[in-house]
Amino acid sequence: MSNEKLPSRAENYSEWYNQVIQRAELADYAPVRGCMVVRPYGWSLWENIQQALDSRFKATGHVNAAFPLFIPMSFLEKEKEHVEGFSPELAVVTIGGGEKLEEPLVVRPTSETIIGYMYSKWIKSYRDLPLLINQWGNVVRWEMRTRLFLRTLEFYWQEGHTAHATAKEAEEETLRMLDIYTRFAVEDAAVPVIPGRKSNSEKFAGAVHSYSIEAMMGDTKALQAGTSHLLGQNFAKAFNIQYLDMNNELQYCWTTSWGVSTRFIGAIIMTHGDDQGLILPPRLAPIQVVIVPIYKNDEERARVMPVVDKIRAALGSIRVKVDDRSELTPGFKFNDWEMRGVPLRLEIGPKDVEKGSVMAARRDVPGREGKSFLPQENIASSVGALLDTIQSSLYEKARAFRDSHITDVTNYEALTTAVQDGWAHAWWCGSADCENRVKEETKATTRCIPMQQPGGTGKCAVCGRDANEKVYFARAY
């Protein structure tokens, strides 16, 4: 299956994306419109993402819990902006156990409301704060135009929900999680991202401020890859989340929420993939190394396989797959594992057995340049070093691509040109009018007001008025 030719990215980026996912067996379409099945290879990638994020959450004092799938419709209505934002996207259960329900139940699109309700029961005193809970689960948003991983009716994610005694602590938490997402993207996924604040028109329904990490895909469009929301006292007041402070006075909590979803898999595919298929960052790849034994006959096979087994054993904790399918040619296998994005391939044939070496082929560097012979001795350390090199090369390559597609612009014409094939970095006056004009005329939106600002002031690239901050404009997924 995976040996048929893939459409090139230049030819049809969207079709390339869909076919990579299906041929690499990451996911498949479900029989219900807009839903996906995450296949074992895709789920294994997600498990590695989960582990990478979860260990960062736990290291910063967060714990996991599970809140219900079903939320009473009346809960959503308690926070005005929240219900306005989410009500067009809801799946609603109206029948349970054969009977019509008195109050319809919403299948959670996000859990601020039901968690807010529970927090109001659990939090009594300042001693119960901060409350730092995360949940791994599924949510449903009734999207009209869906794409595997990027936008599906049901998706998988983590949603952190925290409550704090002061505004300052809540803001620190919001930014701490933005930083954790940035580090995860850069260090684990080799995806360069720009952390920043969303504009008012792009923020989460019910938030005071939303922050995001924004990544550039291979077609130069932006993808919001994680968000962290400062909710102020909006949900605390809607759900009566109060605590007794040290002076025994009742105060409202300050809350935050933050999430990364299976959408991130889409970011990995479109950041690193090439015309041969997927390229996975070694730290997250389900299979880090594939070993393909090379032999022409049973006699050669008998000499090669013991060395294959020895090398596999020597690689220890590195995630290795030996492709010993006898009915397929090595060439077919090479293409197959390239499509699946395995970072490193080791070939072991009769000559390697003689010479005490193995042939290593990097997925990220095609052709002869990516090939080298490694001595069988100390194979774990040389393969480990090569995986580290691949990890950092992937990051550098993606960063160089991104940076070469970001244009600093100072006027509207330059802005509209820049967003045709990249991002525009521009002073912005902060008005929704300017955002709307750009959106209507170019389809580009403000992605984020980056944390890293040049300082000083400038003129808005759209209207020419005074501006205090720079922003990224880009077409986005």
Q: Give residues in contact with a copy of itself (CB under 8 A).
A: 28, 30-32, 35-40, 42-44, 46-47, 63-72, 75, 87-98, 104-105, 107, 114, 117-118, 121-122, 127, 133, 137-138, 140, 142, 144, 153-154, 156, 327
Nearer to a copy of itself, 84 or 408 (CB): 84
* Structure-token match 């009716």, residue found: 153
CB of 87 to a copy of itself, least distance (A): 7
Nearer to a copy of itself, 156 or 184 (CB): 156
Nearer to a copy of itself, 138 or 404 (CB): 138
CB of 244 to a copy of itself, least distance (A): 14
* CA–CA dist 403, 420 (Å, integer): 15
CB of 31 to a copy of itself, least distance (A): 6
CB of 281 to a copy of itself, least distance (A): 20
CB of 46 to a copy of itself, least distance (A): 8
* CA–CA dist 333, 346 (Å, integer): 12
Residue 92 and residue 163 in contact, taking contact as beta carbons nearer than 8 Å = no
CA atoms within 13 A on the CB side of 69: 12
Residue 203's contacts (CB-CB under 8 Å, 6 or more residues apart) are 209, 210, 229
CA atoms within 13 A on the CB side of 391: 17
Instruction: Report how far apart, in Å, the C-alpha atoms of 61 and of each of 129, 130, 168, 177, 187 are.
Output: 12, 10, 18, 12, 20
CB of 90 to a copy of itself, least distance (A): 7
Question: 29 burial class (0-12, 13-18, 19+ CB within 10 angstroms)?
Answer: middle
Nearer to a copy of itself, 30 or 52 (CB): 30
Nearer to a copy of itself, 109 or 196 (CB): 109
Nearer to a copy of itself, 120 or 210 (CB): 120
Nearer to a copy of itself, 119 or 254 (CB): 119
CB of 127 to a copy of itself, least distance (A): 8
Cβ neighbours, 10 Å, residue 303:
14
DSSP state of 339: H
* CA–CA dist 101, 72 (Å, integer): 11
Is residue 300 helix, strand or coil?
helix
CB of 149 to a copy of itself, least distance (A): 12
Nearer to a copy of itself, 44 or 357 (CB): 44
* CA–CA dist 297, 204 (Å, integer): 62
CB of 69 to a copy of itself, least distance (A): 5
Nearer to a copy of itself, 114 or 361 (CB): 114
Residue 469 has φ and ψ, to the nearest 5°, of -135, 155
Quote the strand ranges of 126-239, DSSP E: 131-140, 154-164, 194-197, 209-216, 222-232
Nearer to a copy of itself, 78 or 399 (CB): 78
CB of 133 to a copy of itself, least distance (A): 6
DSSP state string for 304-337: HHHHHHHHHHHTTTS-EEE---TTS-HHHHHHHH
Angle subtended at Cα 376 by Cα 371 and Cα 377, rounded to the nearest 5 degrees: 130
